[in-house]
Chains A and B, each alone.
Chain A
Amino acid sequence: MTTRRVKGIGELPRDIPPARDLWPAIAEAIQADLAMRVVPDGRRRVGWWPAVGLAASVALVAVGVFIGQGIAPKPDGRLAGNPAPVTDAGMVKASLRQAEYEKQREQLWTDVQNKLNTMAPAEREKVGASLNTLRRSIQEIETALGRDPANALLQELLVSSCQEEMRALTVVRDSGRQEL
């Protein structure tokens, strides 16, 4: 993390390249998921991909906010602090996606809780513990990212953990549905 004080937005780099090209893996996952979602008789299954995609985009925005919090000048001239009021069109869009994600995530957790209540006690405990582990791991990464916002490893782990949370929640919610 830089210790130099940024005096104007013009001093910030226009582009920050990712640590590696994530697109090939994403494109492959999309193709694989599309292939898996088409059942033999032509019907399409509702998969976890939309929720996962939303989680990824929102986690990327969250990473951007962390970085922004780390380097944006505050009104009193100090570095870091609360995000500025949302005025930019891109940020408005991002905020809407964030709200949509939070809503979907909250709904998924509610649905999963209902699902867990129908499970046998031992299974409920085992699956519930796993999901809580996932939630705690995201909090741990966010905490670490708060201290080191530009860390590429943490950014990558946050994105994939948010995706994994949505995937696991969807899997548990949809578990036991008869598909035939």
Chain B
Amino acid sequence: MSEPRIHSLWALCALGVLPLAAAANESSLDRKVSADASGEVLISNVSGTVDVRGWDRNEVQVTGQLDEDVERVDVESSAGRTVIKVILPRGSNNGGDAMLEIQVPRGSSLDVSAVSADVSSKGVLGTQRLKTVSGEITAEVSGDESEVRSVSGDITVHGGGKPGSLRVSSVSGSLDLTNGAGKLDVVTVSGDARVHMGDSSEITARTTSGEFELHAKLMKDARVSVEGVSGDVTLDLANAAGLALEIESFSGDITGCLAGNVERASKYGPGVRLNSRTGDGSARVRAKTLSGDIEVCDR
């Protein structure tokens, strides 16, 4: 056999072995346990992904791929509580990736804790508590009470459009919330937040340097309180009955279609404020910043 042909054969063999070598470093997971229709599901993962879907069976199914650095995945269910935990070898510094796809009963409440894993949830109707350090969170929430937290990962939340209570916090990640309703509490440091709320009864937001943009339909007697330091604030608020505005900035501007009566906050010092009312003023809106601009409009 000629030398070039031998080389070609070696190359073909090597190409055939490569996928096998890669597969040898991964293992797959497929576990199923029975669960309550409205039980609690707790999930913990360090790195990789956690992808949760609600389904119409009273079972929790966990499938996925595990890195060789993952020791095992514990899946236990008892007394209405299912715990799924990715176990890394003791003292492991490498975050072995576990890519988990988890099906849970639709009425479950969900508690996911991750470090650098991306987290997503869809079709789960119970309370959700999702948190990650640097992973991204993408969630559909429709439970009565939910909480979504990240340190540096971005957060995308789609609400179910029915009134509930949602708390979202981040340090440097951004937030994009659509179709929320009811009560909302948002805290960011430098991440920007864009929020679209339907019928809202109470909204509180706190940002340091991130921009905060709120589009909301306020219920009668709703309360909105937004506080920023250097981040700009945009309030686009609809309320048929009327708004009572209490807006103030130390060194930023107040603008927008409702900013007709902006006055100086102090005769000698800096600062502007807007105290005004539309209709019966039943929805109260407070917004305050140090140097961020505030734009407020009701259309």
Interface residues of chain A, those whose CB is within 8 Å of chain B, are 1, 25, 32, 36, 40, 119-120, 123, 126-127, 129-131, 133-134, 137, 140-141, 144, 147-148, 151, 153-154, 156-157, 160-161, 164, 167-168, 171-172, 175-176, 178-180
Contact = CB atoms under 8 A, between A and B. Distances in A.
B115 interface: yes
Contacts of A123: 133-134, 152
Given A127-B171, A172-B171, A180 B42 contact: yes
A1 B40 CA distance: 56
Nearest to A160: B227
Given A144-B250, A151-B271, A40 B40 contact: yes
Nearest to A128: B172
Interface residues of B, number: 42
A38 to B, nearest CB: 13
Given A153-B248, A161-B208, A172-B151, A134 B269 contact: no
B206 A164 contact: yes
B149 A171 contact: yes
B271 A178 contact: no
B145 to A, nearest CB: 9
A129 to B, nearest CB: 7
Contacts of A130: 152, 171-172, 189-191, 208-209
A120 B134 contact: yes
Contacts of A157: 227, 229, 250, 288, 290
B176 interface: no
21 contacts: A123-B133, A126-B152, A127-B171, A127-B172, A131-B189, A133-B190, A134-B189, A137-B230, A137-B290, A140-B230, A153-B288, A160-B206, A167-B187, A171-B149, A171-B151, A171-B169, A172-B171, A176-B115, A178-B46, A178-B85, A179-B44
B297 interface: no
A148 B267 CA distance: 12
Interface in B228-273: 229-230, 248, 250-251, 265-266, 268-269, 271
Contacts of B288: 153, 156-157
A160 B207 CA distance: 10
A130 B167 CA distance: 20
Given A120-B134, A161-B229, A133 B42 contact: no
Contacts of A36: 147
Given A40-B40, A175-B151, A151 B269 contact: yes
A40 B81 contact: yes
A141 B290 contact: yes
Contacts of A176: 46, 115, 133
A133 B189 CA distance: 8
Give 6 nearest A-B pairs by CB, closest first. A130-B172, A130-B190, A137-B229, A175-B133, A180-B44, A176-B115
B149 A129 contact: no
Contacts of A178: 44, 46, 85, 113
Interface string B191-218: 1000000000000001011000000000
Contacts of B209: 130, 133, 137
A32 B133 CA distance: 22
A156 B191 CA distance: 22
B83 A180 contact: yes
Contacts of A148: 266, 269
Contacts of A134: 189, 208
A127 B188 CA distance: 12
A164 B113 contact: no
Contacts of A151: 250, 266, 269, 271
Given A126-B152, A153-B271, A180 B113 contact: yes
Given A144-B290, A157-B227, A171-B151, A164 B44 contact: no
B172 A129 contact: yes
A158 to B, nearest CB: 10
Contacts of A32: 167
A156 B230 CA distance: 15
Contacts of B134: 119-120, 123
Contacts of B133: 123, 175-176
Contacts of A126: 152, 172
Given A40-B40, A144-B250, 13 more contacts: A36-B147, A119-B134, A127-B151, A127-B152, A131-B171, A133-B190, A140-B230, A140-B291, A141-B229, A141-B290, A144-B251, A160-B206, A172-B171
